[in-house]
Structure 1
């Protein structure tokens, strides 16, 4: 069976960015795809834009539902997907032309690989490179540093029961998903190249999080994976100490400022260990 990629595009009031996102999908090198646009209760012109693209190319498919949030909307779209590979694509990001083809080549050559991801280029209110590290389970436990814009086997999504819809607040579903795949020992493959363009905006969902909202989500994840955190406690604490020293050295040199993800677990403070991470 020839590989098919299902690109899942949740939308909420995306009229300003959706055109460019769909344009990037249309012009990628890999052409055996379907793009499932899911309107999550938008009140702007998102539907009109989506329907225009459906009429332009029948590989674009459109669904509309009441507003339920990102995790439920991704799951809704994936349930409609016919492809054996899934690419979640935010409606303000741009997929690079060669990402899907590169990822499919990796999957087809190595059936042990479950996720393929790469680096990103910022645009919008910030420019530059987001260099992403190799997947490390203990590191991902301390905070997310891999964006949802990665390609994975649909089977993996089925195996973990999809994106968790029960977190107190929507916004950390991709982090929990990467942890869930790590528990199953899924192999991640990092492409050492830019695979998508990441739109930075002060109006993005995650930047509207309060400390309380973030803490409640983190507590939920810590409790859900309590056994993994306890088992990896010493290694995680070692990573924390190493990153803390590096952080203060960087502050002293004033060469750059690290993006921190802080939390509390077993009475210690965790930092996001990705130097250049900028989560929406």
Structure 2
């Protein structure tokens, strides 16, 4: 039977966490899935663990390739997939057992929905509840607040050309992808419950971001979506304009990029307090 869902699991030196990640896949209430494990040039025992799981259940598929980073590895795996829906799952996270079943039911009930996502539970070096908000393009342009672990229709991945492989540094591919889908007016459904468990360690990618990585990736996204930034923020900026303050700052506004960053910083607090 052809799988409805393809679970995409990139791996790089994942021997410490991969077992529990794949166990969470196997324990799903929804069972019509395939899991595509891609070894992105690991040098540890990742392959041995992956081979154990493909021998245990033939819904697990395994591929290996040279190290190319997260975006290219996700695209590689999705190109190998057969499902109508895609669920990216990092090799140290764990999907909640009812998430897929809940999401598929939502897709079946409303054909207009393109993405289903939910909250997360931290574990590892950090504990607690990661509560995410409803999807709004204007908020997503400021900062990525939705993890890659969401279920979406594969046809939309095809429509936007997959995860952007030209980002200066890996780690923000999902942010750019959510902006791309929002730009197509894809409908996001916020499942108001925990969808997955998010592992935090000193090697978690978000913990390794330097200011240089963040700034260069932000700059890349701003340039790529300059029209969207302009459309979403100029109206909000002028609705909240302090003319005297702007005049005192006007010496700083020499380029459209200067204006953009004033817009972002001036309204960021307002957006997140909505």
Provide Cα deviations, 1:145-196, integer angstroms capped at 9, x if missing partner: 0000000000010000000000100110000000000010000000000010
- Paired residues in the alignment total 254
Measured in 2, the distance between the counterparts of 1:68 and 1:48 equals 20
Which entry has the higher C-alpha Rg, 1 or 2? 2
**Greater shift after overlay, 157-166 or 265-274?**
265-274
Displacement of 1:208 in angstroms is 1.5
Query: Which residue pairs with 2:43 in the alignment?
Result: 43
CA contact (8 A) 2:3 2:82 kept: no
Q: What SS does the aligned partner of 1:144 have?
A: coil
Displacement of 1:264 in angstroms is 7.6
Query: Which residue pairs with 1:266 in the alignment?
Result: 260
For the pair 1:168 / 2:163, whether they are aligned, the reply is no
Structure 2 vs 1, CA of residues 265 and 85 (structure 1 numbering), >3 Å: closer, same or farther?
Answer: farther
5+ unaligned residues in a row in structure 2: which ranges?
A: 242-256
**Greater shift after overlay, 145-154 or 229-238?**
229-238
Query: Which residue pairs with 2:227 in the alignment?
Result: 227
Q: What SS does the aligned partner of 1:25 have?
A: helix
Q: What SS does the aligned partner of 1:42 have?
A: coil
CA contact (8 A) 2:139 2:272 kept: no
Higher normalized helix content (fraction of residues): 2
Structure 2 vs 1, CA of residues 75 and 131 (structure 1 numbering), >3 Å: closer, same or farther?
Answer: same
Query: Which residue pairs with 2:143 in the alignment?
Result: 143
Structure 2 vs 1, CA of residues 6 and 267 (structure 1 numbering), >3 Å: closer, same or farther?
Answer: closer
Measured in 2, the distance between the counterparts of 1:162 and 1:199 equals 25
Query: Which residue pairs with 1:89 in the alignment?
Result: 89
Measured in 2, the distance between the counterparts of 1:157 and 1:132 equals 22
Q: What SS does the aligned partner of 1:134 have?
A: coil
Structure 2 vs 1, CA of residues 181 and 238 (structure 1 numbering), >3 Å: closer, same or farther?
Answer: farther
CA RMSD of aligned residues (A): 2.2
Measured in 2, the distance between the counterparts of 1:63 and 1:265 equals 46
5+ unaligned residues in a row in structure 1: which ranges?
A: 242-262, 276-280
Q: TM-score, normalised by structure 2?
A: 0.88
Question: Which contiguous aligned blocks of 4+ residues in structure 1 show a shift greater than 4 angstroms?
Answer: 235-241, 271-275
Query: Which residue pairs with 2:15 in the alignment?
Result: 15
Measured in 2, the distance between the counterparts of 1:78 and 1:129 equals 29
CA contact (8 A) 1:145 1:274 kept: no
